Amino acid sequence: MSSLSESGLPIEPVYGPSALTGWDPAAKLGEPGAFPFTRGVYPTMYTGKPWTMRQYAGFGTAAESNRRYHQLINAGTMGLSVAFDLPTQMGYDSDEAIAAGEVGKVGVAIDSVEDMRVLFEGIPLGEVSTSMTINAPGSVLLLMYQLVGEEQGVSSDRLTGTIQNDILKEYIARGTYIFPPKPSLRLVSNVFQYCHREVPKWNTISISGYHMAEAGATPAQEIAFTLANGIEYVRAAIASGLDVDDFAPRLSFFFVARTTLLEEIAKFRAARRIWARVMRDEFGAKNPKSLMLRFHTQTAGVQLTAQQPEVNLVRVALQGLGAVLGGTQSLHTNSFDEAIALPTEKAARLALRTQQVIAYESDVTKTVDPLAGSYAIEALTDEVETAALELMARVEDFGGAVAGIEAGFQKQEIERSAYQITQEIDSGKRTVVGVNKYTIDTEEPYEPLRVDPAIEAQQADRLTKLRADRDNSAVTKALDAMKRAAESDTENVLYPMREALAARATGGEVSHALRGVWGTYVPADAF
């Protein structure tokens, strides 16, 4: 009797040759590093070197986060991943009334280039790869990073890393948007143009399914809606005058890894295959790198539990293994205590050690794509691909991702899946160890990391000093030039934005200036 996968697809108790009747290995698999990239985007994958072990961190002040980054680097992490607090993500300064109570809480507070300099003090930006989880003001944080790199003497063509810069998924699942979709897409395209000319090794976008999955999307929904968003970005960039092969090699993606190991591996393989065909057949990309779906993975925060939190170590190990067997390019493993509070230093180190055990103590890195040809994996890959393509076709029926967002399609589909998951947990149909089964009467006390509320006043003091010491007329002049560029249909906003930030304009001031030109987004269901 079949069971059902997270996407509602049948999982058979036994798979054999009949599962792949008529299956064409050349068309479905190919070779590693070759079209359609089912088996991975590089010929050698991890047999040459492992994935980038990137730990997501950031809290409190820039100085506190800087200390955590040094701890992670000393523990062996290969790349940094910056978490920003909510005011920074929403384009507000720490001293604004709307930021009260949120400064430094879910990430680090970055108000200006001064904070960015402190954040990376003692960290050579020409040698480290940095990912920044920032969307609506992604261009602002990228430019701050570039300015700090220049202060360190690092030329922009040596900077490597990623900004998330994926605004469409914010309208679907996460909510940290500022501007309406049209000017937001224009800003994304401006980033593509700017980095192509100025920061050529930078990944200009990380098109994210992770947050949709955290909101309740199934694996098939996750890749379908993510790739549909990717198609929308490619169309917007081409409409802005870019050639597809000028920017597509720098596109990257961001997915979740759940505990449902087999379907997650199939999901990653199916996503690579779909994207390669879309880029070749729909957009006519010629550069093989334009066809590669390169992605970062984070283990599933939504599956972590506050009950018996040490059990999360097991969940994260299983999820990390799934990401590796699925061919990820970089990985963040969550800390076991994240369902309670910000990770402690010990928990963050254990999360990194989990990746190191998979990489150096298991044998999964000794061969490329260990599960290729598995009856179960190949059958599931085909089924996830088919389900995702059907959903992508439904998005196209609306006229594309933005039209689907405006109609509420993706959001409604995800909410329906999330409701079903909640019902299954509440009824006991879905087991969550330590929550609805195998519970204990008394939890052991655990002392979480807490953010000092005094940092809000500290950040406000830093902003007061910044505004007193800078040339305010130069800031005003630069912001006015940026607004004129925003009013134009053809100018790239990032060039005057860079001048404003170099003059020590704050992130909030830049975002407010653009709000004055473009307005703000209010979802239809807010009325």
DSSP result, 104-141:
TSSSB---SHHHHHHHTTT--TTT-EEEEE--TTHHHH
DSSP-based helix, strand, coil % in the chain, nearest 5:
55, 10, 35
pTM, to two decimals? 0.93
- Asked if pLDDT for residue 10 goes beyond 90, the answer is yes
Q: Are strands 52-57 and 79-83 parallel, antiparallel or unpaired?
A: parallel
User: pLDDT (tens digit, 9 = 90+) per residue, 465-516?
Assistant: 999 999 999 999 999 999 999 999 899 999 999 999 999 999 999 999 999 9
- Asked if pLDDT for residue 177 goes beyond 50, the answer is yes
Q: What is the pLDDT of residue 326?
A: 98
pLDDT tier, 525 (very low <50, low <70, confident <90, very high otherwise): low
Q: CA angle, corner 144, sides to 509 and 469, nearest 5?
A: 60
- Average pLDDT for 197-215: 96
Neighbour count for residue 16 (Cβ, 10 Å): 11
Q: What is the mean pLDDT of the chain?
A: 95
Look at residue 519 and tell me if it is in a domain.
no
Look at residue 507 and tell me if it is in a domain.
no
Q: What is the pLDDT of residue 57?
A: 80
Look at residue 126 and tell me if it is in a domain.
yes
Q: Residue 115 is part of which domain span?
A: 3-9+51-364+371-427
Give, as one character, the DSSP assignment of residue 401.
Answer: H
**From residue 365, how far is each of 161, 316, 329, 396, 418 by CA, in Å?**
24, 18, 13, 38, 34
Cα–Cα distance, 230 to 261 (Å, whole number): 25
Identify which of 107, 88, 110 has the alpha carbon closest to the alpha carbon of residue 98: 88
Largest CA distance in the chain: 74
C-beta of residue 255 within 8 angstroms of C-beta of residue 264: no
In this structure, what token pair is assigned to residue 492? 């790239």
Neighbour count for residue 387 (Cβ, 10 Å): 21
Q: What is the CATH number of the domain that holds 77?
A: 3.20.20.240
- Asked if pLDDT for residue 192 goes beyond 60, the answer is yes
In this structure, what token pair is assigned to residue 99? 């930021």
Look at residue 284 and tell me if it is in a domain.
yes
Look at residue 447 and tell me if it is in a domain.
no
Q: Domain count of the chain?
A: 1
**From residue 313, how far is each of 310, 323, 364 by CA, in Å?**
6, 15, 19
Which residue shows structure tokens 């507070």? 109
| Lowest mean pLDDT across 123-137, 149-163, 437-451 | 437-451
Residues β-bridged to residue 130? 80, 161
Q: What is the pLDDT of residue 527?
A: 44
Alpha helix segments (H runs only) across 301-344 = 311-325
Look at residue 467 and tell me if it is in a domain.
no
Q: What is the pLDDT of residue 79?
A: 83
Residues β-bridged to residue 208? 254
In this structure, what token pair is assigned to residue 148? 């700090």
Look at residue 153 and tell me if it is in a domain.
yes
For residue 100, the SS3 value is coil
In this structure, what token pair is assigned to residue 68? 């955590």
Look at residue 471 and tell me if it is in a domain.
no
Neighbour count for residue 270 (Cβ, 10 Å): 28
